[in-house]
Chain A
Amino acid sequence: MDFSIFGYQFMQNAILTALLGGIACSVIGVFVVLLHMPFIGVCMSHAAFAGALLGLLFHFDPLIGAFALSLIAAAIIGPLADRGELNPETSVGIIFSLMLGIAFLIMGLMPTTQSAAWDLLWGSILTNTWNDVLFLAIVAVIVVGLVFAFYKEIKTTIFNREIALSVGIPATFILYGILFLTGATITTTLHSIGGLLIFSLILNPAATAYQLTYSMKNMFILAALFGVLSGWLGLLFSYWFNIPSGATIVITSSLIFGFAALFSPKKKSAKISKQLFLRA
């Protein structure tokens, strides 16, 4: 097998992107999975996508547009979910459809630059520059650092916000922090992984880890491992079979999830505990 491809700069950048993006997205994914709000990822990525398109339309840096709009989405979802006025999933769904609407509206308004828009939607991990990688490294360090620093507060808030509040943890602040961090991570990985594909890189590794462990610490570590593994294996398969890299990464991460779900030790214990609960 010819591995000379890995000597090229663009491939090395792609490998580093998969490593750093995989870690950052999977850690965010643990929040999304444990908060039972899987649509947050979809919603935020479409907000970032719409924001980046705004940048393309009005000729400013798409990254700034993406960042601004995903933070606005987080700022709207937060209070709606927090006050319990709407079911969180409903509010996320409404923001999601609004962002999708804005994105398509802008795409309709800019017939000449549509290929740039498609790039944002599908991502292009193979065209990442050294600067992109550096930027991703900063984001990954910030995400992991914040989770490490506020681990106990995050853990309690994810478990139960009412309990977190009642023991004196600023749970509302932590929840908003999680939402903003999600927005920021998605924005910075948008260019490499793409608005459509990023959702699976957030959800799949964390959902895989969720099948395998009863320890939250291990869940973070496993999710990051699966995230990186999906990226690397995806890149390898896309090279071997000469198929699109983004799509291959997503399919690989879904297959890993499938295996984990099939062989999950929790399936058995969940069944037993349900029976016990019904009997109790």
Chain B
Amino acid sequence: MIRCSVEQYIIDIENAVVTYREDIALRGISLQVSNGEFLGIVGPNGAGKTTLLTTINGTGRLTSGRVCVLGHHLKPGNGHTLRKKVGYVAQIQNIDPRMPINVREAILMGRYGLIGLLKRPGIHDWEIIDEVLELVGMTHLSRRPIGHLSGGEQQRVAIARCLAQEPQIMLLDEPTASLDWKAKNDILQLVKLVHLKRQLTTLFVTHDLEALPAQCNRVVLLKDGFIWGQGSPDQILIDKNLSQVYSIPLEEVQKRRMITIVS
């Protein structure tokens, strides 16, 4: 694997272009992330947020450009080693309620890449699982079949799996989408707690401004595969910008944000 410098940035993306057949998902994005940073990636549906995350963990295929993560220069097919160090929490998916896998096993999967082929998980691995189960508050449900959990609980499991991996970077893709207020709030609290305890470089994707954690240092606004703008949350998340990024009239943005503030 070709090495590249990590001294300055833990993630260094230069002019990344990603296409899916005739659709262009990313149109030349450049982004640098420092170690320990908490980055919010905000934009409407179809802006390229998920694609941006998949270029960072190497599951997405880069059409052109350069991606350096943790000193690895990503090329097609060389992402396996890197992915062991990058935790990815995907969007909530439907799980078959009869799936013969319980919560502990689903979290242990986070360690399988690290353990490596032809080896079995040892005591140390199970200790880590117990620790992350405790951290995400799922110890009492550890033997429950994975398909029997609520959306919020499934998301806790996904975060626990990611932490079990002991990653250096944590990628969260809409972790609060389709959750109710309480579950959403709980997950945001958990993300905050995890960041406090582990100080992981975190990229948090959301289309929902209410779901942006307060400890976010920097926000990147994505639209149509471009970086529309970036800055501190206070600077960038202003009504005028949001009206343009989400293509809705300014008054509508003001009205919606009013409701949010009141509630």
- Point out residues on A near B: beta carbons under 8 Å: 34, 36, 149-150, 152-153, 155-156, 159-160, 162-170, 210-211, 213-216, 218-219, 266, 269-270, 273-274, 276-277, 280
Nearest-neighbour CB distance to chain A for B134, whole angstroms, equals: 21
Residues of A with C-beta under 8 A to B147: 273
B35: which A residues are within 8 A, CB to CB? none
Q: Which of B79-87, B188-196, B209-217, B244-252 is found at the contact surface with chain A?
A: B79-87
- Alpha-carbon distance between A211 and B144 when the two chains are bound, in angstroms: 16
Residues of chain B within 8 A of A155, CB atoms compared: 101, 105, 109
Set of chain A residues within 8 Å of B258, measured between Cβ atoms: none
Residue of A nearest to B167 (CB): A167
Given contacts A160-B93, A276-B150, 16 further A-B contacts (CB under 8 A): A152-B112, A155-B105, A159-B106, A159-B109, A164-B109, A166-B86, A166-B88, A166-B90, A167-B83, A167-B114, A167-B161, A168-B113, A213-B100, A216-B100, A269-B97, A269-B145
Q: Which residue of A lies closest to B112 (CB)?
A: A152
For residue B113, which residues in chain A have a CB less than 8 angstroms away from its CB?
167-169
- Which one of A153, A163, A168 lies within 8 Å of B81 (CB-CB)? A168
Check: B99 CB closer than 8 A to any chain A CB: yes
What interface size band does chain B fall in? 35 or more
Check A166 against B98 for contact (C-beta < 8 Å).
Answer: no
How far, in Å, is A199 (CB) from chain B's closest CB?
21
Contact of A216 with B117 at beta-carbon distance under 8 Å, contacts A153-B112, A280-B150 already known: no
- Please name all residues of chain B whose beta carbon is closer than 8 Å to the beta carbon of A215 when the two chains form the complex: 100, 102
- Across the two chains, which residue of chain B brings its CB closest to A212? B100
Q: Which residue from chain B places its CB closest to the CB of A272 in the assembled complex?
A: B148
> Can you identify 29 A-B contacts, CB atoms within 8 angstroms?
A34-B99, A149-B118, A152-B109, A155-B105, A155-B109, A156-B109, A159-B99, A159-B146, A163-B161, A165-B59, A165-B83, A166-B87, A167-B109, A167-B110, A167-B111, A167-B114, A168-B80, A168-B82, A168-B83, A169-B113, A170-B80, A214-B98, A214-B101, A266-B97, A266-B98, A270-B97, A273-B147, A276-B148, A280-B183
CB distance from A41 to the nearest CB of B (A): 19
Q: Nearest chain-A residue to B116 (Cβ)?
A: A168
* CB atoms of A210 and B90 under 8 A apart: no
Please count the residue pairs between chain A and chain B whose beta carbons lie under 8 angstroms apart in the complex: 97
A36 to B120 Cα, complex, angstroms: 27
Partner of B117, one of A150, A160, A162: A150
**Beta-carbon contact of B100 and A162 below 8 Å:** no
| Residue B231, interface by CB 8 Å | no
Known: A152-B115, A153-B112. A159 touches B101 (CB 8 A): yes
In the complex, the chain B residue whose C-beta lies closest to that of A266 is: B98
Counting CB contacts under 8 A, is B121 at the interface?
A: yes
Complex alpha-carbon distance, A169 and B117, angstroms: 9
Asked if B148 and A273 sit within 8 Å, CB to CB, the answer is yes
Residues on the B chain within 8 Å of A273, using CB: 97, 147-148
Residues of B within 8 A of A214 (CB): 98, 100-102, 145
Which residues in A have their C-beta under 8 angstroms from that of B127? none
Q: Are B90 and A162 in contact (CB under 8 A)?
A: yes
CA distance A150 to B150 in the complex (A): 30
* Nearest CB of B to A16, in Å: 29
- B59: chain A residues at CB < 8 Å are 162, 165-166
Residue interface mask B139-160, A partner, CB < 8 A = 1: 0000001111011100000000
Q: A165 vs B57: C-alpha distance in the bound complex, in angstroms?
A: 9
| Given A150-B117, A166-B88, A280-B180: A274 touches B112 (CB 8 Å cut-off) | no
